[in-house]
Structure 1
Amino acid sequence: MIVFVTVGSTHFDALLLSVLSTPSLQSLHQKGYTRLVMQSGNSKIEFQALVKDAAKYGLETEIYTFKPTLKEDYDRADMVISHAGSGTILDVLRLHKPMIVVPNTSLLHNHQQELASVLDSQQYLKCATVQNLAALISSFDPKILQTFPDLDAARFRSIVDEEMGFA
């Protein structure tokens, strides 16, 4: 099973280090994950020793900085752990993938926390912190999540038309 971790285009070493911590690696191993793919963005972390730690828990690890698109990684993943960027969240939820988001609270106005909290309360995903990520992975049951509704382009168009005074 594959877990995919993404931090987007920002610098979010705290999330990467949390995923690569012993408690999180143990939790992923106990849940049956065998492959850890990480998009590290602008991270300055030296991953060599941390990858060796992941191997101790049976996790084959791949880490890269950026790709033109993450769709292939989303498609292959059995679960996604991500920063709480709105674009990433929508991309993953539209694929109906189980998702844990960790808001980057260092960002201006803490907008990631607001979005993550609302979607967590609606049971579309689970929201964690870097401190409780391992425990949430351990207790996470994707079956409790609601299926995110598919995009309804006609509805979106009618809302825009109404707002613009065309309807």
Structure 2
Amino acid sequence: MDGADDVDRVKKKMVFVTVGTTCFDSLVRAVDTEEVRLELSSRGYTDLLIQMGRGSYVPSKVVGQVDPLSSAALQFSGEDGSVSVDYFTFSSSIADYLKSASLVISHAGSGSIFETLRLGKPLIVVVNEDLMDNHQCELADELAERRHLFCCRPRTLRQTLQSMDLESLLPYPPGDAMPVARLINRFLGFPVD
């Protein structure tokens, strides 16, 4: 088999991580672990692209190989067990990255959440626990309760990846702003219908 056949056989499945314009080093650190790369590889993901924003933590820019002696890794890994990792700070638009992603791991910013849901991409929202008066947490928890996305904290990302069932996610109904309006009204203390 020649190299071209190998490339055709291995379809890229990219995980796109975005922290928006903020500093969310704990999310970048959480995805920049061998355990998370192993879990992503076991689910068939081949590439990890991290948009790190204003953060100071610089992720590993490597191609990580899964240990061939780990029976658990080989049991689940459909390809060669590697996950390519790359990163950047900012882009004028992340729309193309979101479109090409097979899975999105995002901070809890409403713009990133709704753009990803609009595209119908599986989404894990990671809540930044360092923010005061974290209204983003309420939005993410509500959408997770409605099964539109998965929600976790940086320290529980690996467990969320291990237990996530992408088939259990429900599409977010486009153009239906009432659930969000009710959530905002409840948060602001206004009467909810």
TM-score (structure 2 length as normaliser): 0.74
User: Which structure 2 residues correspond to residues 6-155 of structure 1 after superposition, within 5 A?
Assistant: 6-47=18-59, 50-52=60-62, 55-57=64-66, 58-151=82-175
Q: Counterpart of 1:101 in 2: which secondary structure?
A: strand
**Contact 1:39–1:64 (8 Å) recurs in 2:** yes
Q: Give the number of the structure whose residues are more often helix, by fraction.
A: 1
Query: How far is 1:30 from its partner?
Result: 0.6
- State the number of aligned residues: 151
Q: Counterpart of 1:116 in 2: which secondary structure?
A: helix
Q: Distance in 1 between matches of 2:131 and 2:103?
A: 25
Q: Match for 2:98: what amino acid? A: Y
Which residue number corresponds to residue 187 of structure 2?
none
Query: How far is 1:14 from its partner?
Result: 0.2
**Contact 2:108–2:126 (8 Å) recurs in 1:** yes
**Contact 2:51–2:87 (8 Å) recurs in 1:** yes
Q: Distance in 2 between matches of 1:46 and 1:82?
A: 17
Query: Which protein, 1 or 2, shows the higher relative CO under an 8 Å CA cutoff with sep ≥ 6?
Result: 1
Q: Match for 1:144: what amino acid? A: S
Query: How far is 1:46 from its partner?
Result: 3.1
Which residue number corresponds to residue 162 of structure 1?
none
Query: How far is 1:152 from its partner?
Result: 5.6
Residue identity over aligned pairs, in percent, reads 37
Which residue number corresponds to residue 74 of structure 2?
none
Q: Distance in 2 between matches of 1:65 and 1:9?
A: 9
RMSD: 1.5
Report runs of 4+ in structure 1 exceeding 4 Å deviation: none
Q: Distance in 1 between matches of 2:165 and 2:97?
A: 21
Q: Distance in 1 between matches of 2:160 and 2:176?
A: 32
**Contact 1:80–1:97 (8 Å) recurs in 2:** yes
**Contact 1:80–1:99 (8 Å) recurs in 2:** yes
Query: CA offsets per residue over residues 3-23 of structure 1, 9 Å max, x none?
Result: 000000110000000011122
Structure 1 unmatched ranges of 5 or more: 156-167
TM-score (structure 1 length as normaliser): 0.85
Query: How far is 1:131 from its partner?
Result: 1.1
Query: CA offsets per residue over residues 52-92 of structure 1, 9 Å max, x none?
Result: 3x522411122000011100000000000000101100000
Query: CA offsets per residue over residues 106-155 of structure 1, 9 Å max, x none?
Result: 123011111111000000000011111011112212110011111269x9
Query: How far is 1:24 from its partner?
Result: 1.1
Q: Counterpart of 2:15 in 1: which secondary structure?
A: strand
Structure 2 unmatched ranges of 5 or more: 1-12, 67-81, 179-193
Q: Distance in 2 between matches of 1:20 and 1:2?
A: 15
